[in-house]
């Protein structure tokens, strides 16, 4: 049995199956009471034949004349409620910063997933004459998406060809969604689709296919550039019109690519923010799995490094 | 009968809340939180619905209507649709943070049982 076999088996022990209930006799009645309150509340909500609220009607009326947007939801996201979108974006940025901090690996790493590759670079630098061991080779094969002990099932040729075909279409669709702004939310769904493109490539073709893009030195500056554009739009609104996120760009003809003034630039920056934020969060989580080795709590079996304090 | 959607959203919320308060598995607690978030999406989109309404789109009015007719006619509530988008992004951010915490708890305590994470117990 190899170490990798042990690692796989360790993951399959599913430790959470032992975690049981916490005072269900107390939680059950509490939830029923909350449910009764919710029922009373939802029965008093406006129904499908209620008049549209004044604020919604106002948004419909100003969408084209004030913001040059024929897509009213996008007008609200990047126009009327631009400040709220700003807060939401920086909440996402804050969450990404928290995920990065919590998932920080023990060793300095230029990629979110890829400690084995980092180890090879460090070994080449410190001790270039030492040959690569069998375990190290398996770890790197698994990391790069090649078949190995820890990744027994390689994606079939059907999946790989399908992904290679779909990825360009999805990438173009995501940019189109944000650029033309006819989709509710514009940059939000477009950013999620762009992150999905990277994840599809990673899942089908392995780490090696995305390692030149999904690394701290590339993704994090792009995310901060998107955030800078959003801040600059807000500040420009204050300086020019005395209102944060007031439109400062000329309004082009509705239904053209430059329609919406600020909104299109804001939407593009949101695409960048959402895409990079999701990529960082997901790959940070994937990289955390690599830190969990079966030997960590078994120090008696693993001799301490001789030069630990040197 | 949009009230059925409202009640369904309330039920989904309560199922998520029950997972949060009554389960000890941190992964299931995060799943419960995600269910609670998802229930708000259903509620917001349902509240935005109007019988016989068109989408709040001014680019292609339905046949026989002008853009002005759409502005003053029956449309789905665009503000609540916007709230739903906001809720989705915040939900993703919160779930990512909680999942990261869950993985760290699992790595540190070798358990995902919240009852084992007792380091802060006074």
Which pLDDT value is given to residue A135? 73
Instruction: Give the residue on A whose Cα is nearest the Cα of B113.
Output: A19
Residue scoring higher pLDDT (A290 or B107): B107
Is B92 within 8 Å of chain A by CB?
Answer: yes
- H or E element: which one contains A302? none
Mean pLDDT on B111-122: 82
CA–CA distance, A278 with A219 (Å, rounded to integer): 11
Q: Does the residue B90 lie in any domain? A: yes
Domain boundaries, position B112: 2-51+72-116
Identify the pLDDT of residue A5: 44
pLDDT at position B120 is 76
Statement: residue B21 has pLDDT above 90: yes
Q: What is the mean pLDDT of each run of 10 residues along chain A (310 residues)?
A: 44 60 89 96 92 93 88 90 93 94 78 68 74 72 58 76 94 87 75 94 87 90 95 95 91 81 89 94 82 48 44
Q: Is B22 inside a domain boundary?
A: yes
Compute the distance between CA of residue A123 and CA of residue B7 in angstroms, rounded to an integer: 60
Higher-pLDDT residue of A177 and B42 is B42
| Largest separation between any pair of C-alpha atoms in chain A | 77
Evaluate if residue B32 carries a pLDDT over 80: yes
- Residues B113 and A16 sit within 8 Å (Cβ to Cβ): yes
Q: Is residue B108 part of a domain?
A: yes
Task: For residue A139, give both structure tokens.
Answer: 């770890």
| Within a domain: B104 | yes
Tell me the average pLDDT across B107-114: 85
Q: Is B1 exposed, middle or buried (0-12, 13-18, 19+ CB in 10 A)?
A: exposed
User: Is residue B92 situated within a structural domain?
Assistant: yes
Question: In the prediction, which pLDDT does A143 show?
Answer: 63
B64 within a domain of the structure (yes/no): no
Helical H segments across chain A, by residue range: 3-12, 24-43, 54-67, 72-75, 82-102, 115-126, 134-144, 157-180, 187-205, 207-210, 216-241, 262-289
Tell me, yes or no, whether B63 lies in a domain.
no
* Per-residue pLDDT at B71: 87
Pick among A7, A14, A17, A22 to test the B interface (most B CBs inside 10 A): A22
CATH of the domain at B111: 1.10.287.3510
Q: What is the ipTM of this complex?
A: 0.89
> Using the 8-state DSSP alphabet, how is residue A186 labeled?
T
Q: Which of A18, A45, A81 sits opposite B6 (nearest CB)?
A: A45
Given an 8 Å threshold on Cβ–Cβ distance, is B21 in contact with A30? yes
Which residues of A are less than 8 Å from B6 in CB distance? 42-43, 45
- Closest chain B CA to residue A53: B77
Is the residue at B66 inside a domain? no
pLDDT on residue A308: 41
CB pairs under 8 A between A and B: 197
Mean pLDDT (whole number) for B19-46: 95
**Which of B10, B90, B104 is nearest residue A39 as measured by Cβ atoms?**
B10
Kindly list the residues from chain A whose CB atom is less than 8 angstroms away from the CB atom of residue B80. Answer: 56
Nearest to B10 among A38, A59, A61 (CB): A38
Distance CA A33, CA A7 (A): 45
B45 CA: distance to closest CA in chain A (Å): 11
Q: So what's the pLDDT on residue A147?
A: 54
Which residues, numbered 29 to 68 in chain B, qualify as contacts with chain A under a Cβ-Cβ cut-off of 8 Å?
Answer: 43, 47, 49-51, 56-59, 67
Q: Residue A15's pLDDT is what? A: 54
A135 touches chain B (CB under 8 A): no
Distance from the A184 Cα atom to the nearest Cα atom in chain B, whole angstroms: 8
Closest CA–CA distance from residue B119 to any residue of chain A (Å): 17
Specify the number of domains making up chain B.
1
CB contact under 8 A, A292 and B106: yes
Put simply, the answer to whether A15 touches B78 (Cβ < 8 Å) is no
User: Cβ of B69 under 8 Å from any chain A Cβ?
Assistant: no
**Cross-chain CB nearest to A23 (options B22, B70, B114):** B22
> Which among A123-132, A244-253, B31-40, B55-64 has the top mean pLDDT?
B31-40
> Taking the model in full, what pTM does it have?
0.82
Query: Is-contact B112 B106, C-beta < 8 A?
Result: yes
């Amino acid at each position: 049995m190899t170490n990798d076999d042990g690692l796989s088996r360790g993951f399959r022990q599913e430790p959470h199956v032992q975690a049981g209930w916490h005072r269900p006799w107390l939680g059950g009645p509490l939830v029923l009471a909350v449910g009764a309150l919710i029922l009373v509340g939802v029965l008093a909500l406006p129904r499908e034949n209620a008049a549209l609220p004044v604020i919604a009607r106002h948004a419909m009326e100003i969408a084209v004349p004030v913001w040059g947007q024929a897509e009213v939801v996008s007008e609200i996201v990047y126009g009327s409620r631009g400040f709220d979108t700003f807060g939401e974006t920086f909440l996402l940025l804050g969450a990404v910063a928290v995920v990065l901090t919590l998932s920080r690996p023990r060793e300095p790493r230029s990629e979110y997933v890829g400690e084995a590759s980092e180890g090879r670079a460090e070994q080449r630098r410190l001790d270039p004459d030492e040959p690569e061991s069998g375990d190290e080779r398996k770890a790197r094969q698994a990391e790069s998406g090649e078949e190995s002990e820890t990744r027994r099932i390689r994606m079939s040729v059907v999946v790989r060809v399908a992904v290679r075909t779909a990825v360009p279409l999805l990438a173009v669709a995501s940019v189109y969604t944000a650029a033309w702004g006819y989709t509710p939310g514009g940059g939000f769904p477009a950013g999620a689709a762009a992150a999905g493109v990277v994840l599809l490539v990673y899942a089908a073709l392995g780490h090696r296919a995305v390692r030149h893009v999904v690394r701290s030195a590339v993704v994090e500056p792009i995310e901060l550039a998107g955030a800078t554009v959003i801040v600059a739009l807000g500040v420009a609104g204050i300086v020019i019109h005395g209102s944060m996120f007031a439109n400062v760009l000329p309004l082009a003809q509705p239904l053209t690519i430059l329609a919406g003034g600020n909104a299109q630039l804001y939407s593009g920056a949101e695409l960048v923010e959402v895409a990079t934020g999701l990529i960082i969060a997901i790959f940070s989580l994937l990289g955390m799995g690599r830190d969990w080795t079966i030997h960590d709590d078994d120090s008696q079996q693993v001799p301490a490094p001789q030069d630990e304090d040197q | 009968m949009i009230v059925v959607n409202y009640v369904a959203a309330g039920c989904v919320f309560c199922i998520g809340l029950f997972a949060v308060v009554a389960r000890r598995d941190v992964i299931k607690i995060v799943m419960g939180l995600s269910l609670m978030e998802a229930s708000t999406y259903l509620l917001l989109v349902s509240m935005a619905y109007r019988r016989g309404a068109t989408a709040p789109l001014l680019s292609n009015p339905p046949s026989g209507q002008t853009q002005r007719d759409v502005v003053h006619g029956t449309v789905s509530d665009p503000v609540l649709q916007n709230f739903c988008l906001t809720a989705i992004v915040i939900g993703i951010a919160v779930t990512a943070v909680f999942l990261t915490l869950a993985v760290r708890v699992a790595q540190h305590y070798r358990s995902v049982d919240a009852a084992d994470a007792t380091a802060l117990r006074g």
